[in-house]
A = this chain, B = another copy of it.
Amino acid sequence: MAGIKDVAKLAGVGLGTVSRVLNNSGYVSDDTRKKVNEAIAQLNFVPNEVARSFKKSATKIVGLLLPTVWHPFFSELAFYIENELAKSDYKLMLCNSEGNVEKELEYLEMLKKNQVAGIIMLSYTGFLQGVEINLPVVSIDRLLSMSIPYVASNNFEGGRLAAEALIQRGCRKLAYVGGGSTVPTAVFKRRDGFASIAELHHLPCIVYEEFDFMGPERALIQGFFRTEPDFDGVLTSTDLYAAALISEAEKRGLKCPQDFQVIGFDGIQTNDYFKPLLATIRQPIEGLARKSVQLLLGMLDGLVVDHETILDVSLFEGETIKPLPMG
C-alpha cells in the first residue's frame, strides 16, 4: 500500500506539501498541486481522513476503550494489545466503559484532551452515531463506520462451524441463545452463520436473544427455558452463556452432552481445571489484538490500511459435545 511518503517522493516534494494538498490548507502552487495529485493517482493512494490528522498527535499513548477488562475475553485482549504496543514504545491507557454510552463519550473526550495518538475501541452501543472522533481509530468486533478500519473474527464462519459440528453429532433441533446489542455488531453473524446451516439442512432453529442484556447470564438462560424450548444442539453467543445453560439444564434433569450438546463462543478457558470444559468456537484473541495494533500504527505512519480484517476461528471440541461417530 502506498503511503504519504511515497506520494511525496514520486512528486518530488516534501511531506508538508503533500499534507497541504490533502488538507487543502496553506499555499501550494498550481504546478506543485498538479504534481502531487498525479502522484496520488499513479500510486492509487487513497488519502485517509484519520491518517491525515496524525501530525497533531503529541503522545505515544493509545487509548483502549472496552466494556470491562474484568471479563476474561477482554483481559486477554488487553494483555496482548499492551504487549504489541510496547514493542513500538507505545503505552496503553485503559478505559472501562461498562457498556455505558455516557461513559464511552466521556472517555472519548478525555482521550482527545490527552492527545492520545489513537484509539482501539470495542463498543457494543450506538454511541458513535453523529460523533466526530478526529483521531486514528481501529474498531474490534464491529463495523463503526466506513472510515474506521475494523478487525473481527470470522463470526459467520464460527456460527456455521458450530451448526455443522452439532449436526454431524446427531443434533436435529438447533437453538441459538445469547445476548446481543441493539446496534449491529459482529456478534450477530454468529447467529446468522448458525441459522444459515440449519436452513441448508432444513432443520428447525430456535433463536432466543435478549438485547442489551446486562444481568447475569443465568437470568437470560432462565428466560430461554421459560419458553419451553425443544432443542438438542445449542450455540450460545459467549462461553459464559454456555456454562450457565448447562448449569440451568442440570436443574431440569438434562445432562450435557447426553441429552443435549452445547458449543460456546470465545475460548476463554485457558486450562482444563474447571468443568464443564466447553466445546467452543475459539476466537484468535492474540491475533485480533496484534492486528488491531498493527493497523493503528500503520495509520500513524500515514499508510492507508485495510478497512476490514477478518481472522479465522476454530472449533475446540471440549467435553460438551459428543465425540464424532466413526466412519
Contacts and interface: CB of A to CB of B under 8 A. Distances in A.
Instruction: State the number of copies, please.
Output: 2
Interface string A250-285: 000000000000000000000111111000000000
A240 B271 contact: yes
Interface stretch (A8-16, A78-86, A293-301): A78-86
A197 to B, nearest CB: 27
A271 to B, nearest CB: 7
Contact of A83 (B72, B96, B272): B96
B273 A246 contact: yes
B96 A94 contact: no
Interface of A: 61, 64, 68-72, 75-76, 78-79, 82-83, 89, 91-96, 110, 114, 216-218, 240, 243-244, 246-247, 271-276
Given A69-B78, A69-B82, A92-B94, 15 more contacts: A64-B94, A70-B75, A72-B75, A79-B96, A82-B94, A82-B95, A93-B93, A93-B94, A218-B273, A240-B271, A243-B274, A244-B273, A247-B272, A274-B274, A274-B275
